[in-house]
Amino acid sequence: MKANSYRILKRLVLGASLVFVSTQIQAQDGADLFNKNCAVCHKTTGAKFVGPGMAGITEKRSASWLKSWIKDSQGLIASGDADAKAIYAEYNNQVMPPFPQFSDAEMTALIDYLGTLGGGDAAADTTPVAEIIYTDLQIKEGEKFFTGQKSFFNGGPSCTSCHDVAAPGIEGGYLAKDLTDVYTRLGEAGIMAMITNAPFPAMNSAYVNNPVGEHEQKSIAGFLKSVSKNTVETKTSSVLMMTTLGFGGFFIVLILIMIIWRERKKNSVKSQIFARQIRSIN
C-alpha cells in the first residue's frame, strides 16, 4: 500500500515538474519570438515606442483578441472592431506587419510570455521626449546614405532601392512604403529600430549580413526628419496660398458683380414706350 502511494506521489511530482519545465520552455520560446519579431516596435514596459508598451497587455486584451491582432491587425480593423480602430488611430495609422506564419503553438507561447511582463501602469514612461537636433552635415550625409551616393560601411543596399521620399532630386523605388512622413510617425528611435531589426522579411534579409551602423542610422534619421519638416512646411504654404487666392478671387468677382449691378437698366424695357404714349395723350 505504501509502495503504491509512493509511486502515485512520484508520478504527481514528475508530472508537475514536466508541466513546470514545459511552461518555462514555452515562456523562453515566447521571449525569443518577441525579441526577433516584436521588440523592434514594442517595449516590455508600459512605455510607448513605435507601438504601445506590452506590460499589462494581457490584462487589457483577451488572448483571442491578441491572436487576431497579431495574425492580421488590418483584418481586425476592417472588421469594425472598436478597440482595433482606436489603437490604429492613436498610433497615426501606422500599419503593424501581419504575422500569419505564427503557428498556434508559437502564438500561445508569445501570449504566455506577454503575460509574464506584469502590469503596465507603474512602468509607463511619461517623461517628455526632447526634440533631437541634427546638423546640416548629418542631414546631407544621411541623404547620401539614403540615395546610395555614399555606400554603407558594411555594404548594404541604399534605401532608395525600395523606398521613395518627396524630396527634390530624389527618385526612389516603389517596392516598399514611401518614407516622406516616417519621422513624424516613428521618430529617431523608431527609425533606428526598424533599420536594426526590421520586421519585414525582405528588408531584414537585405541587412542581416550587412548591418547599418549607428552613425549611419542617425544620419538617415536626420535626413528623414528634414524631409518630413519640409513637406509639412510646403503643405502649409500651399494651403495658405490657395486660401489667399480663393478669398482674393471671391472679392474680385464680388466687386465685378457690384459694378455690373450699378450699370444695370433702372427702368423696364417698355418704359420709353409708356413715356411716349403719355406725352401723346397730353
Over residues 29-40, the pLDDT tens digits come to 888 888 888 887
Please name which of 147, 4, 117, 146 lies closest in space to residue 57, comparing C-alpha atoms: 117
Per-residue model confidence as pLDDT tens digits over 237-260: 555 666 666 777 777 887 777 777
**C-alpha cell belonging to residue 242:** 490657395
The average pLDDT across 223-236 equals: 76
**CA 67, CA 105: separation in Å to the nearest integer?**
11
At residue 168, does pLDDT exceed 60?
Answer: yes
Greatest distance between any 2 Cα atoms in the chain: 146
At residue 157, does pLDDT exceed 70?
Answer: yes
At residue 270, does pLDDT exceed 80?
Answer: no
Q: Please state whether 133 falls in left (phi above 0), alpha (psi between -120 and 50) or beta.
A: beta
Number of other CB atoms surrounding residue 143 within 10 Å:
22
Please name which of 34, 37, 196 lies closest in space to residue 117, comparing C-alpha atoms: 34
At residue 26, does pLDDT exceed 70?
Answer: no
- The alpha carbon of residue 35 and the mean position of all alpha carbons in its chain are separated, in whole angstroms, by 20
The tally of CA atoms less than 13 A away on the side-chain side of residue 237 is 6
Lowest mean pLDDT: which of 1-10, 61-70, 100-109, 265-274?
A: 1-10
In the chain the first and final C-alpha atoms are separated, in Å, by 146
* DSSP for residue 172: -
At residue 85, does pLDDT exceed 70?
Answer: yes
Structural domains of the chain, ranges and CATH numbers in brackets:
2-117 (1.10.760.10), 136-233 (1.10.760.10)
Average pLDDT, the chain: 79
Please name which of 96, 59, 61, 101 lies closest in space to residue 82, comparing C-alpha atoms: 61
- Cβ partners under 8 Å of residue 18, min gap 6: none
Q: Which span out of 119-123, 187-191, 197-201, 271-275 was modeled with the highest average pLDDT? A: 187-191
Q: Which residue has the higher pLDDT, 130 or 1?
A: 130
The average pLDDT across 153-164 equals: 92
**CA 87, CA 57: separation in Å to the nearest integer?**
13
Q: Residue 206 burial (CB < 10 Å; 0-12/13-18/19+)?
A: middle
Residues 159, 153, 226: CA angle, nearest 5 degrees: 45
Pure H helices in the chain = 2-37, 57-60, 63-71, 73-78, 82-90, 104-114, 136-147, 182-196, 201-207, 214-262, 271-281
Can you give the pLDDT at residue 134?
Answer: 92
Can you give the pLDDT at residue 24?
Answer: 43
* pLDDT band (50, 70, 90) for residue 63: very high
The average pLDDT across 180-196 equals: 84
The tally of CA atoms less than 13 A away on the side-chain side of residue 172 is 25
